[in-house]
């Protein structure tokens, strides 16, 4: 399967500048609605060690994440576009 994602839609994470994919899942930050990739959330949580507070890199709002990035809702709008592009 092609891993490349289209630049037409600019579907890349604004923090790491890497395209969203089925491996780099777009997650919605609940408090503010911004989207960031799962990898960036995980990296931030690692750096924060025990803290489960995630600061949005766009607006600095704090979202408390229970456990891991996978508990944030997926951005299905972006996932749909990725799936359509890959198929």
Positions touching Zn ion (CB under 5 A) are: 13, 15-16, 32, 34, 37, 40, 56, 58-59
Measured from the CB of residue 57, what is the shortest distance to Zn ion in angstroms? 8
Distance CA 32, CA 35 (A): 9
Measured from the CB of residue 54, what is the shortest distance to Zn ion in angstroms? 10
End-to-end CA distance of the chain: 9
State which residue, 16 or 77, has the beta carbon closest to Zn ion. Answer: 16
Please list, in sequence order, all residues whose beta carbon lies within 8 angstroms of the beta carbon of residue 60, skipping any fewer than 6 positions away: none
Measured from the CB of residue 40, what is the shortest distance to Zn ion in angstroms? 3
């Amino acid at each position: 399967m092609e891993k490349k994602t289209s630049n037409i839609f600019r579907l890349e994470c604004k923090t790491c500048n890497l395209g969203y994919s089925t491996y780099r899942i777009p997650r919605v930050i609940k408090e503010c609605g911004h989207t960031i990739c799962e990898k960036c959330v995980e990296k931030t949580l690692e750096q924060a060690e025990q803290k489960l507070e995630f600061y949005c890199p766009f607006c600095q709002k704090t979202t408390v994440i229970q456990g891991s990035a996978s508990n944030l809702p997926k951005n299905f709008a972006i996932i749909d576009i990725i799936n359509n592009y890959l198929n």
